[in-house]
Amino acid sequence: MTSETLALSRAAAIRQLQAHFEEQKWSLRELFATDPQRVENFSCEAAGIYLDFSKNHLRQDTLQLLIDYAEEQNLNSKISALLSGASINNTERRPALHTALRFQGDAKTEHERAVADCRVQMQRFANKVHSKEWLGFNGKPIRHIVNIGIGGSDLGPRMVVEALTPWHRDSIHVHFVANIDGADLSDTLEDLNPEETLFIIASKSFSTLETRENALSARRWILAAGSNEKQLAQHFVAVSSNIVAAQDFGITPENIFPIWDWVGGRYSLWSAIGLPIILACGYSVYKALLAGAHSMDNHFAQAPLQENLPVLLALIQFWYRQCWSTKSQVVLPYAQRLSKFPAWMQQLDMESLGKSVDRDGKPLGYPSGGVVWGAEGTNGQHSFHQLLHQGTDLIPADFIAIKQPTSELHEQHRWLLACCISQSQALLRGKSLHDARQELEEAGYTHREAHSLAPHKAIPGNRPSNTLILEKLDPHHLGALLALYEHKVFSSGCLLGINPFDQWGVELGKQLSSQIYQSAEAAIPENWDSSTRSLMEKLL
Ligand SMILES: O=P(O)(O)OC[C@H]1O[C@](O)(CO)[C@@H](O)[C@@H]1O
């Protein structure tokens, strides 16, 4: 099918789905009441992850319409194109081969051989640090690693390092600095000894403002502590595809870990951008993470669409966004150590799907990616869940539960899981006006009072959610979870007909910030809007 035919079929299929939506009269409670097998019919398992998607506004015919649409959009062949290294990132004319970063067994392709070499380089380096062979300028072993990077060069490794806390080595502490706000770096360095600190400058482009400025400040901090220029090599390594810029910064070539243009920033934690994971937890943990992701890659490649976890999640998101006009989706990991997962998801989803034109540059005419947000459970229950339950917006939720306790406090873990289950149940069931009235009367309110208070207490319910269960929060399951969402976002991009691999929308702000920074020193251009001019006068 040509791209024009695909675009026409997209518009027609969305209209058909909308018609199906208009006809639908069922409530979630009815769906459960009329189908005793609903959970069996609307759940799947792969790579150690169980997905219950039964609490969604889906009947078998809805799902079939969605699957038909995915087939019409050639999703299967697009998945094959992604995994085989076709130039799927059409605007930047390159493949998106993050899956090659987690290959298992012997390296077969050119990409895999490059990855294998980089793995050896990382392992050797980490061994030197862990064995205390790598010394700082004063001959002291390294005890602190500070990763300086932002966006994809920060969020993935930061989230994984926190998630895998039980695997941390005692001898090494890994820190992350991202923000241009100097407080981020200075607060981090406050209690560190420069003689025992090593910085990873993580930047695919090696030209990102925040990373450049933080790296320069870190360099000054090491020099001020007594290191000479030559000894800086003992305190700085880099991960970058811009080898020249990293060398110009003063990093020796053998301490530059490569990343390639076929690895997108938000998909890069599996590359040398994951070096902090190896330093914090050891190489075997990193390998297990890759293996978990690889098992999800295999599932994504092989499972039929109707049993394919990433595809199902993408279809559900598509259904709500196109037909239910949802504006956002919330991700709720019920695990303290996954507190940074929503931020990672945000970049993955919003940087990929926040587009207004299709792959050919034509206006979409239908909504693309929405807002992704969330926080770890149970904390959100005591703040924003109010809006999930009683607000006017329908916000589909993904709950992520970990079956095995993540601490010694097993009783608390049972409570955590009970809270997680109760939230999706409350979203589904709600509370009728009648029940709210009765509850109030039972609590001693007069009939009249109960009548007037009940609307405030009633909860609409009928609100959808997915629940994902991981047996354990270990490297393997975590790898599979992250790959699941990566592939979900890719599938969403295919369903929307957009290229999810570029992010040119972020460039204008970067250009303007340097113009503003420079103009503040000179004259502010008169043709700029008065608000910007006034803010510059007040602030700069
Ligand atoms: O690794 P780099 O090149 O410093 O880029 C950091 C981040 O900046 C972005 O380009 C957005 O500004 C992200 O896509 C990327 O992950």
Catalytic residue among 30, 362, 510, 537: 510
Predicted local confidence at residue 522, as pLDDT: 81
- Give the pairing of strands 43-46 and 49-52: antiparallel
Instruction: Compute the chain's Rg from CA coordinates.
Output: 25
Spatial neighbors of 485 by CB under 8 A, at least 6 apart, are 310, 313, 345, 348, 349
Report the C-alpha gap between 511 and 509 in whole angstroms: 6
Q: How far is the CA of 3 from the centre of ligand 1 (A)?
A: 30
Q: How far is the CA of 171 from the centre of ligand 1 (A)?
A: 30
Residues 129 and 282: beta-carbon distance below 8 Å: no
3-state DSSP assignment of residue 45? strand
Q: How far is CA 102 from the centre of its chain?
A: 17
The H-assigned helical ranges of 2-99 are 3-23, 28-34, 38-41, 60-72, 75-83
Ligand 1 in contact with 245 (CB < 6 A)? Answer: no
Task: Express each pLDDT in 219-268 by its tens digit.
Answer: 999 999 999 999 999 999 999 999 999 999 999 999 999 999 999 999 99
Q: How far is CA 515 from the centre of its chain?
A: 31
Predicted local confidence at residue 384, as pLDDT: 98
Predicted local confidence at residue 6, as pLDDT: 77
Which of 98, 239, 503 has the most ligand 1 atoms within 8 A of CB, as the residue to mutate? 503
Report the C-alpha gap between 198 and 163 in whole angstroms: 22
Q: How far is CA 66 from the centre of its chain?
A: 24
Q: Is 299 a catalytic residue?
A: no
Q: Is 195 a catalytic residue?
A: no
Report the C-alpha gap between 536 and 515 in whole angstroms: 11
Predicted local confidence at residue 262, as pLDDT: 97
Ligand 1 in contact with 147 (CB < 6 A)? Answer: no
Which residues of the chain fall short of a pLDDT of 70? 1
Exposed, middle or buried: residue 443 (CB in 10 Å: 0-12, 13-18, 19+)? exposed
Ligand 1 in contact with 268 (CB < 6 A)? Answer: no
Predicted local confidence at residue 1, as pLDDT: 65
Residues 75 and 495: beta-carbon distance below 8 Å: yes
Catalytic residue among 195, 351, 376, 486: 351
Which of 176, 177, 205 has the most ligand 1 atoms within 8 A of CB, as the residue to mutate? 205
Report the C-alpha gap between 299 and 287 in whole angstroms: 18
Predicted local confidence at residue 12, as pLDDT: 87
Q: Is 351 a catalytic residue?
A: yes
Predicted local confidence at residue 2, as pLDDT: 74
Report the C-alpha gap between 208 and 79 in whole angstroms: 31
